[in-house]
Structure 1
């Protein structure tokens, strides 16, 4: 059953019901609209009340299928295929076994589509148009966000993407030409011997599960199955690992995986020119999982063996974009400070990914020493590959892909940088300074003279031509800066095969890896306004509240990190963005303004919401970026960083600094040699790091291996990728601890912080109604309107229903005798969950039956082998962890004699299990010992979510009934 509730802003939200066998909505009844039924409620708190929602049409139903697919023994219907795949793997390799495997994969794929209830898909030949979605339609945009977060956010920010209007026959003709076989000069690839090949042994389930978890739930292939579907169908990836390993063993993929659909994404320029549309390949998710696992191994092999030029940063696990931008800015800075000439050219490779010949990919693999097995696996991926192209007018026929790589394939980017690496190495040569900055097909040439740059441009053209790639002079640009007087830009023309490159003038900028680069350029103020606008658009969108928070965390906040690394805006600007977004975020959580900020910005590990503080992040990014330069695997970058930091320190203290003094400078030290020193007034990555380190209390040590220390945690070269995360998490935990220490708003949060399951719904709203979301955050901070909820509230503080002297939240949801039946229903829902989980492994000896001489009635007595478990559920109020411990102690004392009697009667061990869930959804970590015995790990995770959400749901209904007098 899925419900709809209208919010005060006329938004509509889908409400996910935990489980149909345990949760049934009551018949709608009119709620009281006047405040007389709920004395003590302020006008601005009316959003906690509201008319019961109308039911949605069944066709619009959305239920999280995980609650129905996953069984207590950790299996789903898909696991029926596991034994069949294992049997095939045990047989010797043969064409007949491979054919049976392919048929079984097709059968499993079809069964998966049935299990997740995918609609029947047409072949899509008639039209390439997707159904238009209005971002103002709450139901539609929320549904889209569950399927494809990236597209939903793009729709909110910029509307539906433009469709290519070029006629289908012309599109087909174009791509038949582009994907036609092409050749290259393989002599450009130097042979390297002596390397161990790329490992091609079987994957472990953990490897496949980790890779699956990293995929964003974007558009699926022609089977319609998304990564989310596979995660639900095979949580531990036991079946998927069998499939992946079978493909790896045979170094082949099923024929259906080689077919893709290509969609065109508009870039810029004339829309009738198909060269201005980026082709993105949509392949089956099972295929991308397989090549994603292989890509992980290839990445590790490339970095471990230092296969590629260090000037290439694309598709590799490093902060390449920041390093390249910093390096380029250093080049331009040296022109000014060393009275030298520096010349730069940005080169554009025409359709680089689509034009790279397949022989170049094979030659790159073969010459690098990756191994014959890896080469065979890659060759099979492209052998027989085809794609249709989707445009506004429909779909082309399948077109053989005999040239280029598949954009959107996890492996293709790595293959491309391997193929282009000889050109990058040629341009860099043996120079100690950077001569080329490469990020995949983005090439930036750097030279000390006009002649040198022209030679480099010619060499790039010649090398790329050998690979079958061409440069587009119309999209290339150049910059010549002279540090000699008059300092500035020189109007020098550079040629590409006789065609001039566009020269940048003073004040003009080229966009290089997301940064504006030029001479005397000023960051446009519109950029900051655009950042604020993006945040507000998401925060005010028609997404469900948990989706809005997830969108901010996933897309908005990470998008600011690159600008923070580059120091484009000062900390005060980021603080302004925080102050503008904060009220919107509080509205999303339905929190009043007096709600503690620590709840928003504290750690999710301690029951808080984990929102980023941009002003704080700008400081952390400054420290992190400086440290990454010091510890860069690119030796040229690391050496230049050490030299530059020393230069900046020298200007500050007017003498040659020691390595200790450089570390003290970066630590923000103001004593000693820094007491009388004044700043130079010139901002740099090091001055920003100094100021940020001082505010964050970060200490630098450059004696020996560079390291930074924050709050006692020392981070060296091996932790270079964890610096930003570590500092941010430490600051979040401090805020959470400060909240927990508060006498009023921190009481329930202490219980929530004890286990991650207590806040499981923060990201996806699993099993959570919108009405529950509006209630739970206020309730956990004790900010719900009640007569006795605040010590300073004047007037009658008695319970409006039973007359108890203080109408507190704990009284209403746990102790008011008027709601005894509802308390029992909440309790029984948890008992039913336990019984269901025990159904496959336990014998139920009794359920709510009088036992022993005392006639006690434990909720369940379960037997498994030589062990008996006396299980009794209790739902205390979330009033610090001591309340949970006290409740457990009462249960243990109460059933101790019964435990002894049962152990003697059955001649086995017996134990009392107090099973505790707080009334506000706090999961007691002490339950987990029994959960490990009760069911599988995956089902235990599901059961925790269901128990928490159902408890919150019923508690909310009790509270609203108390206020309104209307049964919910």
Structure 2
């Protein structure tokens, strides 16, 4: 005869072994049930609505980050969400939509979708990766809890003991969480699914699949999670793990010979990617162009990787390789647009300079009193204070690493060395440097030396950098579209 229990007059329901009740939205019973089924369905509906909306591309990505991805965070941390059934299909849809928001073809590298804004991406994250991150965050929070910490550590030792059938040492506990398969774990014993098996599995996924620098270690008589070689706390764990995810995505992208070469430069200066967050100062046409150009997936003969594509010559000048670098920097057909792009950056630099009464400004002309016919872009000469500043703007293509910018700067220093030496020998405080902006928005950090020399205020310099990047993208896009369509995109 079944016994009935009542609480405040209400009958308590008896659960079978396969039944669950919802505790804070998580199905709980003898076995943990699949969590967030309704939440995932709602996320799909919201994602479809955002994708079909009239929001700007960057607004769609922001809406996903703000309203959709946080919906699943609690279930990923406290419940069990099936990756194959729920997370992977959602990730595939999100990746497809995000690529369309960036005007990228299907063969474009997906890492750019998951990079943060300051590295040139949309700042999204795969839910299957987020699931592993949240498992580790939950474990760290329990281990560092004042009330539950000792009990949690003891439950961890109990889980390891059930796995190896003997009392574990401290190092064995760490090896268990690191998903080691040798030593004490060479002999296989069936493992009962629990929180620590999920943490162990999540650690293995992050290390082996996502290539994260994550490791459990025993330090100061307690188990601790190390991320990027540094110990984390319950307050910093989630932030550090997501930073490690971003770093792993960037390493994977920049290792690609073709699609990662520009990001080797642009990903390291946030000003090069300022527009990813709000699209400020750029046109929609520039947005549609820049991501494809940076990933080298534009329809140029030299970028076509089809096996039957044999003719890679430039369609305008006949050069042997029609690449993005050739079109934006070297094709004679676009020499005028390239000059206008250079002048747009130079004009902003010239207009930012406030001259003292005793200083004379020379823009793209020979400096009086110097030999030769060299015409630096900007020269400021103060004969009273005996102070000379010479700056030359150059825009080399962002190709693989910052060595391209260093080489361009060295060439400018060599070119104007005679002028520098003349004024220096005459006792002038002489400054000579290059000002470098890439055609795809790459920013050289050494430009800050020039801005300080020209006494440009920090506040305006922050704005001017963004405007210069926007100018570079605008003229590069116009040159590219003119190259493809043979129609002039600007007024001469």
Q: 1:793 to 1:810 in 2, by over 3 A?
A: farther
Q: Distance in 1 between matches of 2:467 and 2:63?
A: 24
Q: Which residue of 2 aligns with 1:874?
A: 394
- TM-score (normalised: structure 1): 0.45
Q: Distance in 1 between matches of 2:38 and 2:67?
A: 20
Q: Which residue of 2 aligns with 1:913?
A: 433
Q: 1:664 to 1:819 in 2, by over 3 A?
A: closer
Q: Distance in 2 between matches of 1:527 and 1:965?
A: 50
- How far did 1:737 drift? 2.3
For each residue in 1:19-65, what CA deviation from the matched residue of structure 2 results, as whole angstroms up to 9, or x when unmatched? Answer: xxxxxxxxxxxxxxxxxxxxxxxxxxxxxxxxxxxxxxxxxxxxxxx
Q: Which residue of 2 aligns with 1:809?
A: 324
Q: Which residue of 1 aligns with 2:134?
A: 621
Q: Which residue of 2 aligns with 1:654?
A: 165
- How far did 1:834 drift? 0.9
1:783 equivalenced with 2:304 (yes/no): no
SS of the residue aligned with 1:925?
coil
Q: Which residue of 1 aligns with 2:466?
A: 945
Q: Is this contact kept in 2: 1:748–1:780, CA < 8 A?
A: yes
SS of the residue aligned with 2:449?
helix
Which of 110, 124, 139 lines up with 1:597 in the alignment?
Answer: 110
Q: 1:568 to 1:535 in 2, by over 3 A?
A: farther
Q: 1:662 to 1:508 in 2, by over 3 A?
A: closer
Q: Which residue of 2 aligns with 1:691?
A: 201
- How far did 1:687 drift? 1.4
Q: Distance in 2 between matches of 1:923 and 1:654?
A: 58
1:434-453 maps to which residues of 2 (within 5 A)? none
Q: Distance in 1 between matches of 2:122 and 2:35?
A: 32
Q: Is this contact kept in 2: 1:961–1:967, CA < 8 A?
A: yes
1:673-822 maps to which residues of 2 (within 5 A)? 673-681=184-192, 683-697=193-207, 698-702=214-218, 704-710=221-227, 713-716=229-232, 719-790=233-304, 792=307, 794=309, 796-822=311-337
1:424-439 maps to which residues of 2 (within 5 A)? none
Q: Which residue of 2 aligns with 1:644?
A: 155
Q: 1:666 to 1:826 in 2, by over 3 A?
A: same
Q: 1:877 to 1:502 in 2, by over 3 A?
A: farther
Q: 1:866 to 1:627 in 2, by over 3 A?
A: farther
Unaligned runs of 5+ in 1: 1-484, 495-499
Q: 1:570 to 1:493 in 2, by over 3 A?
A: same
SS of the residue aligned with 2:390?
strand
- How far did 1:832 drift? 1.5
SS of the residue aligned with 2:389?
strand
Cα RMSD (Å): 2.9
1:570 equivalenced with 2:82 (yes/no): yes
- How far did 1:890 drift? 1.5
SS of the residue aligned with 2:374?
coil
For each residue in 1:714-755, what CA deviation from the matched residue of structure 2 results, as whole angstroms up to 9, or x when unmatched? Answer: 314xx3322233233224323322322322212222221232
Q: Is this contact kept in 1: 2:174–2:216, CA < 8 A?
A: yes
Q: 1:714 to 1:814 in 2, by over 3 A?
A: closer
Which of 15, 29, 38 lines up with 1:526 in the alignment?
Answer: 38
Q: Which residue of 2 aligns with 1:887?
A: 408
SS of the residue aligned with 1:879?
coil
Range moving further from structure 2, 775-784 or 892-901 = 892-901
Q: Distance in 2 between matches of 1:753 and 1:621?
A: 26
Q: 1:766 to 1:745 in 2, by over 3 A?
A: same
Q: Which residue of 1 aligns with 2:374?
A: 856
Which of 51, 61, 67 lines up with 1:555 in the alignment?
Answer: 67
Q: 1:673 to 1:747 in 2, by over 3 A?
A: closer
Q: Distance in 2 between matches of 1:555 and 1:677?
A: 43
Q: Which residue of 1 aligns with 2:447?
A: 927
SS of the residue aligned with 1:887?
helix
Q: Which residue of 2 aligns with 1:244?
A: none
1:527-542 maps to which residues of 2 (within 5 A)? 527-542=39-54
For each residue in 1:760-809, what CA deviation from the matched residue of structure 2 results, as whole angstroms up to 9, or x when unmatched? Answer: 11111111111101100110111111233336452543333333333222
For each residue in 1:322-342, what CA deviation from the matched residue of structure 2 results, as whole angstroms up to 9, or x when unmatched? Answer: xxxxxxxxxxxxxxxxxxxxx
For each residue in 1:792-847, what CA deviation from the matched residue of structure 2 results, as whole angstroms up to 9, or x when unmatched? Answer: 45254333333333322222221222222221211111111112222277945211
SS of the residue aligned with 2:6?
coil
Q: 1:866 to 1:571 in 2, by over 3 A?
A: farther
Unaligned runs of 5+ in 2: 208-213
Q: Distance in 2 between matches of 1:544 and 1:678?
A: 54
Q: Which residue of 2 aligns with 1:664?
A: 175
Q: Is this contact kept in 2: 1:491–1:505, CA < 8 A?
A: no
Q: Distance in 1 between matches of 2:339 and 2:75?
A: 54
Q: Is this contact kept in 2: 1:787–1:793, CA < 8 A?
A: no
SS of the residue aligned with 1:813?
helix
Q: Is this contact kept in 1: 2:39–2:72, CA < 8 A?
A: no
For each residue in 1:415-471, what CA deviation from the matched residue of structure 2 results, as whole angstroms up to 9, or x when unmatched? Answer: xxxxxxxxxxxxxxxxxxxxxxxxxxxxxxxxxxxxxxxxxxxxxxxxxxxxxxxxx
Aligned length: 469
